[in-house]
Amino acid sequence: MKVLFVCKLRNLGPYYKIPFGLLNSARFVAEAMSKFGVQTKVVDVIDGNFIDKEVHQYKPDHVMLEALWVTPDKLRELLRLHKHIKWVVRIHSKAPFLAMEGIAFEWLNEYKKIAAHHKNFKISANNEEFNDDLLDLGFRSVYLPNIYTPPNRHVRKVKDCVLDVGCFGAIRPLKNQMLQAIAAIKFAGKMGKPLNFHINGDRTEQKGDQVLKNLRALFATLGPRHKLVEHGWMSHHDFIKLIGKMDVGMQVSLTESFNIVTADFVGQNVPIIVSPDISWMPGIFQVDPNSADAMAKRLKFAYLMKAIGLQKINRWYLDWYNELATDEWLDYLGI
């Protein structure tokens, strides 16, 4: 059994070719499947014209196209050329996020037509709820979730008087960074400590530049006590080291399908609060994404409960999720 995962190479300026979320996601699944004897390969290509070359070289049984980036015309061409291969386009977002992408549902409708004529093609959602939505809408969809294997733990936070709160990931309106920043400021006020609010400041998407502009303006009014700390996009290894320096994390987004950043925090044993959309996390660390006050209270709870190691239950939930996700993949591959 051979599975090829294909991602689109992204030009991130000075960070060109450094692994990004989808590439990491594919690698995690590939590593998990390799433990069961599945041969896997993860590649990134400039565009759809390079997929055929990778398929010819690797000769896979399954090809996983990560996210919506292969045009319907190119997909039809690939399906005609490789009728013996099972093809899947994996979707890594739910409907609210996809609605922000201009071509998403236009392409999905074309994919539905393609699936009607090519039995070796399906789409997939990495979120069970959205996969059910797609099935109800008449799509040939299969649930293939993320799998996350936490890497070794790295640098620990040095004790000091400053609260380091990490709210990482691409800056997008639905990521809800502004309200989370306000909540973090309230949390710091409750604790009587200065705040360093950490973000990835060089990655904006879907008009996220306006969010970043407003974040900078917010902290500019607060004086030197509370700071917005902007980090560049970095390798996963370096990112894990950065997480280890945080007191607590935030991923209280308005929509999520899995959220690797949360899994990174959990793997590093750093407490984090999330929105209910990150459904694999325990409820005690989930909070209303529309209430800064609720977030501030849950931040204080997560931060103080680290003294008794309560955040360790997050790892139990992640391990349980991984077991279920692995079973879904093995069932699909017929192993």
> What is the per-residue pLDDT for 11?
60
Is 135 part of any domain?
yes
Domain boundary among the residues 90, 117, 144 is at: 144
Q: pLDDT averaged over consecutive 10-residue blocks of the chain (335 residues)? A: 92 52 93 97 92 97 96 97 97 94 94 96 97 97 95 77 96 97 98 97 86 96 94 90 96 97 96 98 98 98 96 97 98 96
Same domain, 298 and 212: yes
Report d(CA 92, CA 21) in Å as an integer: 10
Report d(CA 212, CA 43) in Å as an integer: 32
> What is the per-residue pLDDT for 151?
85
Same domain, 206 and 281: yes
Same domain, 170 and 276: yes
Is 152 part of any domain?
no
Report d(CA 82, CA 27) in Å as an integer: 24
Same domain, 113 and 207: no
Is 308 part of any domain?
yes
Same domain, 254 and 133: no
Same domain, 247 and 124: no
Same domain, 205 and 128: no
Distances (CA, A) of 48 to 6, 16, 65, 98: 10, 18, 10, 20
Structural domain boundaries enclosing 313: 163-318
β-strand partners of 169? none
Is 126 part of any domain?
yes
Count the neighbouring beta carbons within 10 Å of the beta carbon of residue 138: 10
> What is the per-residue pLDDT for 81?
95
Count the neighbouring beta carbons within 10 Å of the beta carbon of residue 141: 25
Is 12 part of any domain?
yes
Same domain, 123 and 198: no
Same domain, 37 and 83: yes
Provide the domain count of the chain: 2
> What is the per-residue pLDDT for 15?
46
User: Two tokens at 297?
Assistant: 């209270």
> What is the per-residue pLDDT for 16?
43
Domain boundary among the residues 144, 177, 193 is at: 144
Is 79 part of any domain?
yes
Is 86 part of any domain?
yes
Is 326 part of any domain?
no
Same domain, 12 and 134: yes
Same domain, 130 and 186: no
Same domain, 228 and 96: no
Q: Give the domain CATH number at 90.
A: 3.40.50.2300
Whether residue 170 contacts residue 200, with contact meaning beta carbons closer than 8 Å, is answered with yes
Q: Which residue has the tokens 């291969």?
A: 85
